[in-house]
Amino acid sequence: MDNNFSCQSEKTTECVDLYQPKPQPVPMMPPYPTYVQPSKRDMSLLKILTIILCVFLAVALLIGGVLFGFFRIIDLGVGGSGQGSGSLHRPAPPQSGPPFAYGSSAPWYGNAHDPSSDPMVNAVSRAYHSVVAISVTRAGAFGTQSRGSGSGVIIAHSLGENGQPTGTYIITNEHVIADATENGVTVTLTSGATYPAVIVGMDAETDVGVVWVNVVGLHLAELGTSADLMLGQTVIAIGNALGQLSGTVTSGIISATARDIDVEGRPMRLLQMDAAVNPGNSGGGLFDLNGRLVGVVNAKSMGNNVEGLGFSIPIDVARIIAEELILYGRVVGRPRIGISVVTVTQENQNLIDSDNPELRPFFYINNQLFPGVYIIDHENVVYSNRSNGTFLFGDRIVRMNNTNIREFRDIRYFLLGMSAGDEVNVTVARPGGSGYVTHRITIVLSELNEQ
């Protein structure tokens, strides 16, 4: 039998089997909800909210993990047996220092690193405020003026009749303040305060100068000694680098304790160091690790590919000259021998021979050159009553007291430690026999200013 199905109407929701009894109506499902696709704007907002939620959850999990691990480590005791008390607590701090350390080094912040334990920091703190910047106005040709700059070191107070300070003396280089106009020198402290300065005195021979400011209560440098300096010893240079960078601090080592060089045509015996110095550092201080002044910076070797060659006047020399300048305004009692000499070398023998042909028999004997310092004039010598003779033309100076003499600068440096009125035993060599015969002559040093 065929089952025929028909619907009463295309609009009816009820179909029946014509050959079966009419069934009970079946409740129909409610109509499905209509799905509406959200707009692109709503989708973007949803994505943003989702991302924010994920990031928030991730951060929360991370912080929670870190905090858990942190307190767990504290509970177990870092470096301990791993047996904790089971409670979260911070360990008691040690009696001194921070409650933590990074390897063998203390942390760099807070009170963990005590700068007072650093000898370099200590030395700079003691010396820093004793160094000043100096500005100079110089007189030029045809009424013109020029500006210059350098450095200086505060070394002493001036005292009044009542013994109270009346001002302050500052040591610098002669070439820093030379040719200054009246009222042309000013001094600037590390605080930035600026004061006019008066030139007390200058000495071109040693390149030492002293100025005075009408100010009291300034930080004085502690004077050390240059006699005890050793090769490789750490030193600190402080000065007005480039004439603009006042208070510049550099460090290095002593490279030589008695280096003979010519500074602007003047032979000088200086300390050599590799601390960086620049124009403007002249007159600044060279300090040891105790913060004591051991030298006055006065020169740098200039040239292409020249680095690490700086020079300072030893404080033992600079101090003597400064005291003379403070007391008398000039160096008094500077000794002289009263002779004129020439230095004969392998390089200049022909020149000497042409200028002083009568000297050749004294330095050239048996076809052999004898370099050294030869006397060509001795009219102004003062001889001691104990002297066994006098100088003669052509005498070669071999020794002064216990100092060997090989060139003129040796005589000059010898005299730095002497005073007018001192007696000196001079050993000379004269042609005799098949070579030279030595003689000892005793002289009395006269004062250089005496004519």
Residue 194, strand partner residues: 188
Question: What's the full length of the chain, in residues?
Answer: 451
Q: Is 89 a catalytic residue?
A: no
> What would the two tokens of residue 197 be?
């300065």
398 three-class SS: strand
CA 53, chain centre distance (Å): 57
DSSP code for 92: P
Report whether 279 contacts 286 (CB < 8 A). Answer: no
Distance CA 123, CA 139 (A): 38
Measure CA 338 to chain center: 42
282 flagged as catalytic:
yes
Among 301, 292, 242, 315, smallest CA distance to 273 is for: 301
- The CA-to-CA distance between both ends of the chain, in Å, stands at 163
| Choice among 130, 135, 151, 175 that is catalytic | 175
439 counts as catalytic: no
- Smallest CA-to-CA distance from 297 within 308, 310, 312 is with 312
Q: How far is CA 127 from each of CA 170, 289, 319, rounded to the nearest angstrom? A: 14, 10, 17
Give φ, ψ of 106 to 5 degrees: -80, 155
Phi, psi of 397 (to 5 degrees): -75, 120
Q: What residues contact 267, with CB distance under 8 A and at least 6 apart?
A: 260, 261, 408, 409, 412
- Which among 282, 387, 410, 439 is annotated as catalytic? 282
**Cα–Cα distance for residue pair 309/232, rounded to 1 Å:** 14
Nearest Cα residue to 221 out of 121, 301, 290, 118: 290
Tell me how far apart the 2 most distant CA atoms of the chain are, in Å.
171
Angle value at C-alpha 136, between 131 and 142, nearest 5 degrees: 165
Count the neighbouring beta carbons within 10 Å of the beta carbon of residue 377.
Answer: 12
Going by C-alpha positions, the residue among 91, 56, 54, 97 that lies closest to residue 70 is 91
Q: How far is CA 38 from CA 34, 41, 42, 50, in A?
A: 12, 8, 6, 16
> Using an 8 Å Cβ cutoff, are 261 and 285 in contact?
no
Q: Which of 207, 288, 316, 395 is catalytic?
A: 207
Task: Please tell me the distance from the alpha carbon of residue 148 to that of residue 240, in angstroms, as a whole number.
Answer: 12
Active site amino acids: 175, 207, 282
